[in-house]
Structure 1
Amino acid sequence: MEVPPKETTDAGDTSTINLESKAASAATTTDVIEKASIGSQQAHTPIPMSKARRIVVFVSLALTMLLASLDLTIVTTAIPKISQEFSALSEATWIATAYMLTTTALQPLYGRLSDTFGRVPSLIVSIVVFIAGSAACGWAQSMGVLIFGRALQGVGGAGLVALVFIIISDVTSEEERPAYLGVLGAVWSIASVIGPVLGGVFSEKASWRWAFLINLPISGVVLVIVVFFLRLPQPQGSLWAKLKKVDFLGSAVLIGAVVMLLLALTWGGKNFPWSSARVICLLIFGVIMLGVFLLIEWKTSADPTVPIPLFRIRNVSMSVLGQFFMGVGMFCPMFFIPIWYTIVKNAGSITAGLHLLPYLLSISLVSVASGFLVVKTGRYRELVIFGTALFVVGTGLMVLFDENISSGKQIGFMVIMGFGLGLNIQILLIVVQTAAPTKDMAAATTLFLFMRILGSSIGVAAMQSIFQNSLLPKLGVLVTQYPAFTMAIMGSVNDQSLIYTSGIPDDIRSQLVHIYVLALRKVFIATVPFAGIAFLFTLPLQHVPLRANFKPLAVGE
């Protein structure tokens, strides 16, 4: 359905006449906005492709998204078996951390790399690197090799996620893109559900190595489809000319900043005290390097990894900043709800993961439905605001989770939260892509994805710290009351099954469970403000008609 161009925006937005009048008194600002708006003033023309070829390409992109999404969660239930085989429990956290570091740090780079070297070559390299990392993990004979393989997987995985969304924006019009993105959102949610289940099944019924080796045949199919069916325009110029365009300095500084910040947040309160020199130095130098990166992008880089003028466009800046806070809120339930079921309901790791189904299935179904609704109506601003408000309500209701909550309320609260998230998880990307200039479309897309994964990484690390800081002192008090059960009580921090398998008397167990519930409640309470801030960032959004002739407003207009 084609949405007709509009002369005005929603209530509360400034008209074109007002924008022109402001230009007289703010020439510099408007000049930046006009330059940034060139791409969005022209209707995006998708790359011509037959219907059959488009279906094949989209299936390959969906499989690519499945691969990247599975790899985030499939190892969670395999880690105990892995650490047991290598006798390296102290190093087990690096199985997840190595992937997180490389995926987050490299996410913004793929936008500009694909602009410079082409989408297809960049995607092929990402798939090959991902295959190499998966093979290294699957056949690893030591924990060191496995961790290296996970880092390599992250390098490829960052490209897989980024390039799927970038290529979708190339081969679809703005009018039809929401439906495609909605389906990709469903793929992500489904992968999040089946990932822990597959990891547990492989670990218990076959071998944990299959959690990584399963990537090889799927990646092979995707690689064949990409090589033989995906035909996209290739940037012109010599290899040397392309290399000179790459923002090596800015990219290196950004990678360093992200790695330092994430290491500090991962180690703080867990491996080292927050007051330790190691954690403090990582935080300080990480922030300094982030500032240096922004200065490089603003002043020195001719073709920056993150074009600073994008932040002058209201819809882009509000969306990417809101996505950071949304990232905190959307991943914390996936991490802590299974812990709640393990502790309160004595659920195994696989069963606890399955309890996330109401949350993730509601995200999947609503994500698909919202995509088609945007295609049908051409409207998305209202859906984003309503969805984020609903997500705030859902996160607030999670505070009511206690030992006595009914199953109906458990499911209902998760559905509300998932419903709200499903309404905006992919539509906000439409907001960014519709407002960003065509030449910066890839950079804007990867910036959006980077802010989401950065928010989720920082959020989970911060919430883990809140959880442990609330939990450990209370466990210490319980140990002084019942010293005979010290090993079981303190051991439950790393192995919650000890709450039910170590012979703790019922009255002590109920106190122990209550301590965990109170600690989890503090996590859920801490999540609410982040969701609330994300909601506030949606309010200034303006409705940019899809495929319309439109100039975005600047921040503050």
Structure 2
Amino acid sequence: MADTETSETLISEGPQEASQDNKDIEEQRIVQEQRALSAENLAHNRRNIIPIMIGLAFVIFLAALDGTIVTTCLPVIASDLVGTSFQLTSMATLPIISKLSDIFGRRNSLFASIGIFLVGSALCGASVNMIMLIFFRAVQGIGAGGLMTLTFIIISELVSPRERGKYQGLLSGASTMALLLGPATGGLFTDYVSWRWGFYINCVVGLIPISLLSMYLRLPTPKGSSAEKLKRIDYLGSLVLIIACILFLLAVAWGGHEYEWTSGVIIGCFLGGAVFTAAFIYVESRVAVDPIMPLYLFKNANFTLNAICGFAFAFVFFGFQFCFPEYFQVGRLTSATTSGIMGFAMVIPFLFSSTATGFLITKYGRYVEYPKVGAAIAVVALILVARWDVNTSLGEQIGSFILFGLGAGLFKAPQSLIAQTSAKTNEIAVATAAQNFVQTVGAVLGIAVVTSALNTAWQDRLAQLVTQDGVAASSDSLFINGNFNLFAIDLLPADEKAIVIAAFIYGFQICMYVAASMTAVAEFSALFLTHVPLRTKVGDQKGPTESTKTETEITQHGQK
């Protein structure tokens, strides 16, 4: 009787085991095909790494060039409004687009971002009123957010961590070249062609990366139906993040200009931003199934320290870029062209330093030393700049610029690499986006804080230096909505002009000490960065993937 039951059991289980074996064999075949396709794509990309890198460099160049050209082409008031809409959408969409690239694929997301950016550029150039320009500039910012983060993510899938340094250094060089060429190009368009070509030029330059990347870049597309992919999107987290960004950006854009920093509108924006930031943290940690910014990344000490460094660097670098032209135009009464030329003394060393650092990282495999040395050099440089006055020699100015550029390049080059080595392979996209997001916030706050500090210190000092019947009586004409009216200074008598310049120099020096203090914060954070050995293979920043485990298990099952 027992033998009969056993036979019946074996007979009943036989087809199930056969079915399971067939299923395992089919899974094994799919895994092997996917791995073969991935290996084929990797080999193809390695063979064509030069045209791919040129294409990615033009993507970064495109995003960086746009910002510098537009600020030159548009009037000050218009650029404030247009710039705010661009900053808002580019900042808010950085982590969102990177997460969408996990769902829909890097290549698809990159081409979508390029397309949105170019369409936005064309529509900005064709705008017939300010409302259209602001709206389409916001559209352009959505694409720019993708351009700025996806390039670094894609590099992480093309080359090993050990090799990323030199390629990311080259991308930093491309953005630096845009800083050099942008203002001059924008000036030429404005003076001799039309401000509209400040936008149309993007459509011309954009053809280069589209052509190269469409021909040579191959990346896998994640499996799954469109419905399944759409379900993975963190809609609530995205919405809350966008609202938080809107409130904070409006606060820093309006503060000290449209409204006093202590006004109810500004305080309300900051409080609202804080509430939605707290809501975003709750959604990402407790609600979202597939969060756009996994907060557990910040549990990694290196990642958090590097994020602090990135925030501080962007705060100082972009704040300094805003401040030094005003020193030359107001403090030394030089032309905008002269102040732009002086910037070359900083940008060229930055280009050399960041590119060389990338190659040194690839050669020796070390990277944590560079931000430590770079921040220290930048602190010294900013302290020297804080000593500038109306009598500072050209040699001192150029020397300080060179020193700051070298230090900033050393500091900036490894930041994306540190963020990526602090994450697992399947977290690189969100880690890179989080780092870029923090840097963007730092840049926005740096410009806002430096602008406010400069104008506040300047006006307070001006009030102390003059009598009621002196420059103070005409000081209202010197400032419009909290911004200095550069043309008004030429109308002042020589003695009053000297007082205004002395007050400005005081405000400028205060700002430089603020920048030096923030750089010291970056230096302190960099001191605690620890070195993680760089691997020499692509995609091996964690243990075996699930597909690898499945293949191993299937192989073992087949051998039984």
TM-score (normalised: structure 2): 0.85
Cα deviation, residue 406, structure 1: 0.9
Contact 1:200 1:349 in 2 (8 A): no
Moved more, 351-360 or 330-339: 351-360
C-alpha separation between the residues in 2 aligned to 1:243 and 1:351?
52
Moved more, 541-550 or 237-246: 541-550
1:383 and 2:370 correspond: yes
Q: Name 1:495's counterpart in structure 2.
A: 485
Q: Deviations over 1:124-146 (max 9, x none)?
A: 11111111111111111111111
C-alpha separation between the residues in 2 aligned to 1:522 and 1:278?
27
Q: Name 1:327's counterpart in structure 2.
A: 314
Query: Which structure has the larger Rg?
Result: 2
Q: Name 1:392's counterpart in structure 2.
A: 379
For this pair of structures, how many residues does the alignment match? 499
Pick the aligned partner of 1:545 from 493, 512, 533: 533
Indicate the SS of the match to 1:108: helix
Query: Could you tell me which amino acid in structure 2 is paired with residue 546 of structure 1?
Result: L
Q: Name 1:36's counterpart in structure 2.
A: none
C-alpha separation between the residues in 2 aligned to 1:279 and 1:52?
54
Contact 1:475 1:489 in 2 (8 A): no
Q: Name 1:472's counterpart in structure 2.
A: 459
Indicate the SS of the match to 1:293: helix
- Long gaps (5+) in structure 2: 1-37, 544-560
C-alpha separation between the residues in 1 aligned to 2:398 and 2:381?
11
Contact 1:77 1:349 in 2 (8 A): no
Contact 2:371 2:526 in 1 (8 A): yes
RMSD of equivalent CA atoms: 2.1
1:183 and 2:173 correspond: no
Contact 1:130 1:156 in 2 (8 A): yes
Contact 1:193 1:354 in 2 (8 A): no
Indicate the SS of the match to 2:443: helix
Contact 2:71 2:79 in 1 (8 A): no
1:229 and 2:216 correspond: yes
Superposition pairs of residues 461-540 of structure 1, within 5 angstroms: 461-476=448-463, 478=466, 480-482=468-470, 489-490=478-479, 493-500=483-490, 502=491, 504-540=492-528
Q: Deviations over 1:62-91 (max 9, x none)?
A: 0110110011211222222xx7xxxxx4x5
Q: Name 2:115's counterpart in structure 1.
A: 128
Pick the aligned partner of 1:59 from 45, 50, 54: 54
Q: Deviations over 1:365-413 (max 9, x none)?
A: 0011111111111111112211122122222222111111111111111
Query: Could you tell me which amino acid in structure 2 is paired with residue 49 of structure 1?
Result: H
Contact 1:398 1:413 in 2 (8 A): yes
Q: Name 1:71's counterpart in structure 2.
A: 66
C-alpha separation between the residues in 2 aligned to 1:257 and 1:201?
38
Cα deviation, residue 181, structure 1: 0.7
Contact 2:45 2:52 in 1 (8 A): no
More helix by share: 2
Contact 2:349 2:405 in 1 (8 A): yes
Query: Could you tell me which amino acid in structure 2 is paired with residue 480 of structure 1?
Result: Q
Q: Deviations over 1:165-188 (max 9, x none)?
A: 111111111111100111111111
Cα deviation, residue 51, structure 1: 5.1
Change (3 A) 1:270 1:479: farther
Moved more, 356-365 or 540-549: 540-549
Bigger relative contact order (CA 8 A; separation at least 6): 1
C-alpha separation between the residues in 2 aligned to 1:166 and 1:63?
15
Indicate the SS of the match to 2:72: coil
Q: Name 1:408's counterpart in structure 2.
A: 395
Q: Name 1:210's counterpart in structure 2.
A: 197
Cα deviation, residue 351, structure 1: 2.7
1:257 and 2:252 correspond: no
Change (3 A) 1:379 1:271: same
C-alpha separation between the residues in 2 aligned to 1:389 and 1:92?
34
Q: Name 2:95's counterpart in structure 1.
A: 108
Change (3 A) 1:451 1:50: closer
Contact 1:479 1:489 in 2 (8 A): no
Query: Could you tell me which amino acid in structure 2 is paired with residue 61 of structure 1?
Result: L
Contact 1:488 1:499 in 2 (8 A): no
1:282 and 2:269 correspond: yes
Query: Could you tell me which amino acid in structure 2 is paired with residue 435 of structure 1?
Result: S
Contact 2:45 2:216 in 1 (8 A): no
TM-score (normalised: structure 1): 0.86
Indicate the SS of the match to 1:527: helix
Q: Name 1:453's counterpart in structure 2.
A: 440
Query: Could you tell me which amino acid in structure 1 is paired with residue 505 of structure 2?
Result: V
Indicate the SS of the match to 1:176: helix
Change (3 A) 1:490 1:371: closer
C-alpha separation between the residues in 2 aligned to 1:359 and 1:164?
25
Cα deviation, residue 360, structure 1: 1.2
